[in-house]
Amino acid sequence: MTTSTSSTGDVPAIEFKDVVKRFGDNVVLDKLNFSVAQGDRVTLIGPSGSGKTTILRLLMTLEEANGGLILIDGDPYTHEYKGQKWVEIPEKRRRVVRNRVGMVFQQFNLFPNMTVIENIIEAPIHVLGKSKAEAVARGEELLEQVGMSEKRDFKTNQLSGGQQQRVAIARALAMDPEILLLDEVTSALDPEIVADVLGVLREIAETTDITMLLVTHEMQFAREVSNRVLMFDQGQIVEEADPETMFTNPTHARTKEFLKAVLG
């Protein structure tokens, strides 16, 4: 494991330096710079196509940047400069850093060939090298926390959407991530289920010091959980504020327009 300097507290958990991402001719992120401090809860808002989800996907290495650097605890993650040359960091080194990052998806993406508990213990055993007993004990604890204990041995497609998402949250937490990425985790859920899942996340926010980066359309949730909101438009941060200020007193015209459309 690479030693990080995170213990000093000065090094940001996440740092983007001039990050460029293009899809064909479409420039989604154009030299984006921003950082997230250790333990911060940051919500990314903005119209669709503004690059919010792309940021999370870059952090999970589900997309490849076309330029710039992404640092986790100050450690180069996906690319680095060798002299003047911008080079890809090999998978072996990426895996070391990736261990610190977890993600929950809009579509849950549980593994249908495994039971609930098997979904949760798979990576802790095979990636973190935990013993099965240890992984199961931790898994059961997390299932308890997300209120899914009684579904322990169910196959995942026997669960409702909200239940699947709670299992997915437990699965991500089982890896003890320092950083948790939440990509529109309630967007695929029925309205009456949303509150359950948000309740689980609120509790995690209150009881842990995990750094969270969330993309959400639930403005009330963003307000309760996050301490910082970044408004994106066309791959750039157009406004940044604490949630109270952002939602009650936005300054930028694009933010006002966007919030008006979202909040009504």
Residue 21, interface with other proteins (CB under 8 A)? no
Residue 106 or 236: which CB sits closer to other proteins? 106
Residue 50, interface with other proteins (CB under 8 A)? no
Which of 20, 60, 193, 237 binds other proteins (CB under 8 A)? It is 60
Residue 105, interface with other proteins (CB under 8 A)? yes
Least Å from the CB of residue 78 to other proteins: 13
Count of alpha carbons within 13 angstroms of residue 242, beta-carbon side: 4
For β-strands 41-45 and 228-233, DSSP reports them as parallel
Residues 6+ apart with CB under 8 A from 235: 21, 27, 28, 29, 30, 32, 50, 51
Contacts (CB under 8 A) with other proteins, residues 210-249: none
Structure tokens at 217: 């359309």
Which of 175, 179, 189, 238 binds other proteins (CB under 8 A)? It is 175
The dihedrals phi and psi of 17, each to the nearest 5 degrees, come to -120, 110
Residue 161, interface with other proteins (CB under 8 A)? yes
d(CA 144, CA 221): 22
154 three-class SS: coil
Positive or negative CA dihedral for 230, 178, 64, 166? Answer: negative
Segment lying near other proteins (by CB under 8 A), choices 167-175, 191-199, 201-209, 233-241: 167-175
Residue 176, interface with other proteins (CB under 8 A)? no
Applying CB under 8 A, which residues contact other proteins? 60-62, 95, 98-99, 101-103, 105, 107-113, 122-123, 126-127, 155-158, 161, 164, 168, 171-172, 175
